[in-house]
């Protein structure tokens, strides 16, 4: 019984299998695809990966990802500095920004509190957030951590730290996704949506 | 409405979305993962991709993938040259070899006939297969193309080309996968398995 795969194929399959959401089957299909597609496209993907971590750093102010010391939002003087949207990850910043609905600024925690995984307040950018708030000018903080146990815990922890400060603190609304079918929504969301129902 | 993603992130996401079986959602999750994981692992994946097509070529004899001009099977004098297993892709060679059940040699077609996609006999390695057979020494050909319409068509086409030659031609058995549940098997396979039932 022999593994006939060339070393390069084995190495790549091993790397791909370690990625989240990619099992042995998908990894095999991907390798097969990458072996037959135009080599230029494989080189393009390799270069994009190699460049990713070199070209991108954390914004010095909001900790989102950026190619410059300050991200496009933090360096834009027209943004509303009185409103701060606190999120777990840079990807959430990009998603919110793509809606075009928010003109305030962001603060990225770079994670969520997770005692189980050994993530404490000092591992997140909470101290920097408190400094930003205490620097003045911030009137409202929207704690948009994920509606998970760890996300809720993180929001609660930050809200407690800000108890003495003169800022309004809020969480985004929970409910049925727009365009979503009630039957397709998970039980917890459905229960929340019913409890938080609004009179028409 | 702005796309705040750094160019490096956008480029990588674009590359990932073009891969088979990876939608926009998976691509986003992968980018998020690759942005937070140890940079050394991202570099490793990039290097594995960059090296893939450089380190691997087609075997001059069977067209499987190999790091040398001849693949390990074709350069192994102990293999049974009288039996030829014809498959669509190199990955099938690896899968069969991993079973340890086959001691003959392989021939990789590098695809299957597909009039719809403009793939004709001249796009596959059929001519080289006929030459191998006519070179002498081959007694049996197992046409192990996939049990799909295109795979069956390809097997039938090759069988016709070999009509005048003194070789036994066979196809692998169809049926319920070992360890599989009858209820979980697709209708066509189930019908085939019942039609091809064997007396106990």
β strands within chain A, DSSP E? 57-58, 65-66, 83-87, 105-108, 140-143, 168-170
Q: Which residues in chain B touch residue A29, judged by CB atoms under 8 angstroms apart?
A: 20-21
User: Residues of A numbered 20-59 whose beta carbons fall under 8 angstroms of chain B's beta carbons: which are they?
Assistant: 20-22, 26, 28-35, 39, 41-56
- A30:B8 CB<8 A: no
How much is the pLDDT for B1? 56
Q: How far is CA A100 from the centre of its chain?
A: 17
Give me the residues paired with residue A114 across strands: A119
User: Residues of A numbered 97-116 whose beta carbons fall under 8 angstroms of chain B's beta carbons: which are they?
Assistant: 97-100
The sign of the CA dihedral A138, A143, A145, A146 is negative
What whole-number distance in Å separates Cα of residue B97 and Cα of residue A9? 15
Contacts of A118 (CB under 8 A, 6+ apart): none
- Given a cut of 90, whether residue B55 has pLDDT beyond it is no
How much is the pLDDT for B200? 67
Structure tokens given for A94? 């990009």
- The DSSP bridge pattern shows strands A57-58 and A140-143 to be unpaired
User: Residues of A numbered 137-156 whose beta carbons fall under 8 angstroms of chain B's beta carbons: which are they?
Assistant: none
Which residue of B lies nearest to A23 if distances are taken between CA atoms?
Answer: B21
- The DSSP bridge pattern shows strands B65-66 and B57-58 to be antiparallel
Mutate to test the interface with B, among A1, A3, A7, A8 (most CBs of B within 10 A): A8
Residue B24: pLDDT band by 50, 70, 90 thresholds?
A: confident
Q: Which residue has the higher pLDDT, A84 or A97?
A: A84
Residue among B21, B28, B2, B57 at smallest CA distance from A75: B2
Q: Which residues in chain B touch residue A34, judged by CB atoms under 8 angstroms apart?
A: 19, 49, 52-53
How much is the pLDDT for A130? 97
- A4:B53 CB<8 A: no
ipTM for the predicted complex comes to 0.71
Residue among B6, B34, B32 at smallest CA distance from A68: B6
Tell me the count of A-B CB pairs closer than 8 A.
177
What whole-number distance in Å separates Cα of residue A105 and Cα of residue A3? 54
Q: Which residue has the higher pLDDT, B179 or A160?
A: A160
Structure tokens given for A82? 């009185």
- Given a cut of 60, whether residue B162 has pLDDT beyond it is yes
- Coil, strand, or helix at residue B84? strand
How much is the pLDDT for A96? 85
How much is the pLDDT for A200? 66
DSSP string covering B86-154, please?
Answer: EESSHHHHHHHHHHT---SEEEE-SS--BGGGTB-GGGTTHHHHHHHHHTS---EEEE---SSHHHHHH
Strand order in the sheet with B168-170: B105-108, B83-87, B140-143, B168-170
CB B172 within 8 A of CB B142: yes
Q: How far is A199 from chain B (nearest CA, A)?
A: 31
């Amino acid at each position: 019984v022999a593994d006939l795969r060339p070393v390069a194929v084995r190495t790549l399959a091993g790397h791909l299998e370690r990625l989240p959401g990619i099992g042995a089957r998908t990894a095999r299909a991907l390798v097969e695809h990458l072996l037959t597609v135009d080599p230029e496209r494989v080189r393009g993907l390799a270069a994009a990966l190699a460049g990713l971590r070199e070209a991108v750093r954390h914004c010095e102010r909001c900790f989102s990802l950026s190619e410059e010391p300050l991200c496009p939002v933090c360096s834009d003087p027209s943004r509303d500095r009185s409103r701060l949207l606190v999120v777990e990850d840079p990807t959430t910043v990009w998603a919110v920004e793509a809606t075009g609905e928010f003109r305030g600024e962001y603060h990225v925690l770079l994670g969520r509190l997770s005692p189980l995984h050994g993530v404490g307040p000092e591992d997140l950018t909470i101290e920097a957030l408190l400094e930003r708030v205490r620097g003045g000018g911030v009137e409202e903080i929207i704690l948009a951590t994920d509606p998970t146990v760890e996300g809720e815990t993180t929001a609660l922890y930050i809200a407690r730290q800000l108890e003495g400060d003169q800022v309004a603190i809020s969480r985004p609304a929970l409910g049925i996704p727009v365009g979503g079918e009630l039957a397709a929504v998970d039980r917890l969301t459905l229960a929340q949506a019913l409890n938080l129902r609004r009179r028409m």
